Amino acid sequence: MTAIALTKSATEADFVESVDCLIIAADTPRLTELLSEEHPVYSQKSTAATARMRAWILVGLGRIGLCHGSLIYVIEELDTGIEPYLVAAAAVALRSYPSKERTFARYLVHAIENIRYHDEPVNYERYGEYSEDESRTAVTEILESLEWHGAGMLTNDEMTFLRGLPDCHQEIVSRLALRADSHSTSCCEIPEIFGRFSLPSGRQVNEAALGAVLFEDQDGSVFGFREYFRGTSSIVAFFYTRCDNPFKCSLTVAKLANIQRILQKRDLQRPVRVAAITYDPEFDDTTRIRVYGADRGIEFDSHTKLLRCIRGMETVRKYFRSGSNFIGSLINRHRIEAFVLDRSGEIVATFQRMRWDEEEIIEFAVDHAEGCESVQRKNISHARSHLRRFFMGLLSILPPAAVAFFPKCPFCWAAYFSAVGLSGLELAYSPWFYPVLWFFLCIHVVSSGIRSRTTGKLYSFVMAVAGAGLLVLPAGQWSKLLAIGLIGTSSLIGSMEHQRSRLKTTARSRSSSEFVCSADDNEETP
């Protein structure tokens, strides 16, 4: 059975058939691809149907083994999801991940906080089946994932929260309490597993289409994309007023209000614009977006606006690669997404899915607001820093290198003296010294041969023989100088190879001893 292509016209039955085929084939990449909010299979599906479909994909990934590429969708659901059936499916999928990251416990506890007051029974044996077993709820699934994780990183505050759950969950909570650490950390801290931002990968909209886009702000003023998003950097997020998830649109606009307050306290030469664009311009008129923004702390001015697109909304979605889908004009699914635009209106940073940090996004925007001059200054500063590190590194290398090249044994010294003496000294008054020099040179050649045989490298031995041969042959002064160079280089290479061989032998012996110790430890471990 082959998975069918899922298009906008696919029914839920088509979807289930295709996903089941992908699960049987263990096709993780294609299953993960189906989790993209903008996938056409979610078009014109209800919010409930979209949640069921995504939950079935997560359950399938859990059956074949969750990979790192799919993990972001699971963590996102645990962090911001409010649909019990879908959140519990994410918790089930997490149990198939090959490693138990220390941060998983915080996300699982946060997921319980998100759904505890509207918990419901769940069953994943068949697609969309409603569970009649009220003892197995979404919170139960999350608690079992916590038990799988080990609960070693649960804090006192988190354990106190779990003890406040209904009695039906206390059996699992009591088992968790036996394995929890006794340390204190705020349960509200959400740890970071993934990088907060990513870089864009090319524009999908041409300049003419972007130039045709028109916005209307909360006061009814109309302007184009170029008019507002050029000249300085901008922070842009998406929202819509009918969003029922407090961790997405409402929190996003509240964070933009906080960004506005932070920027007002800074003495910036060039202001940073802040804007939020509604997904739902047909419903979100100027009055609604003005009230929505004001209720969440936005103080509207020329650099801070909430916008509705009155022409070219599809172009805006393509330009920002918006992760959203619709049933009619209603949003059935969207992700958290914020962007930093540079002075020309190009996207330079994207923050998606996970909750972003205001200070981090401000730093990106301020850097790009300062423009090319700031970038050049930073590039020069980085270049100087790299140059300084290069010279400091060079200074740290030269003394050890000098020591390495300096002769360390009597035979090396003998080679130097014998080569120089035989080629350049006037020894008419001491003819007996010639045999002595030749004796030392022979010792050097023999020792080079022995070292080469030991190390398996013949460079030093070949150079020693060639140098000795040049000394024997009647030739001019240049050949004598070449002989000195060959013999000296032979001595240095031989010395360095000998030291390297000793180091490797030492490293192997240490590695062997560590392996033996490790094996002994494993044998002693019950």
| Beta-carbon contacts of residue 409 (< 8 Å; ≥ 6 apart) | 495
Whether 160 and 49 have beta carbons less than 8 Å apart is answered as no
* H or E element at residue 418: helix 410-424
d(CA 110, CA 366): 32
CA distances from 165 to 116, 174, 294 (A): 8, 11, 36
Strands 234-239 and 273-278: parallel
Which residue type occupies 118?
Answer: H
188 is in an annotated binding site: no
Percent of the chain as helix, strand, coil, to the nearest 5: 60, 10, 30
Q: What's the DSSP call for residue 6?
A: P
d(CA 365, CA 367): 5
| Beta-carbon contacts of residue 491 (< 8 Å; ≥ 6 apart) | 407, 411, 412, 415, 416, 444, 448, 460, 464
Dig out the tokens for 219 from the structure.
């006061």
243 is in an annotated binding site: yes
Q: What's the DSSP call for residue 248?
A: I
d(CA 353, CA 76): 6
Q: What's the DSSP call for residue 464?
A: H
Whether 409 and 478 have beta carbons less than 8 Å apart is answered as no
- How many Å is the Cα radius of gyration of the chain? 36
249 is in an annotated binding site: yes
How is 304-318 classified by DSSP, letter by letter? EEEEEEEE-HHHHHH
Helices (H), 65-169: 68-80, 84-94, 104-115, 138-149, 156-163
d(CA 494, CA 501): 10
Going by the annotation, the residues of the binding site for Cu cation are: 243, 249, 334
Going by the annotation, the residues of the binding site are: 243, 249, 334
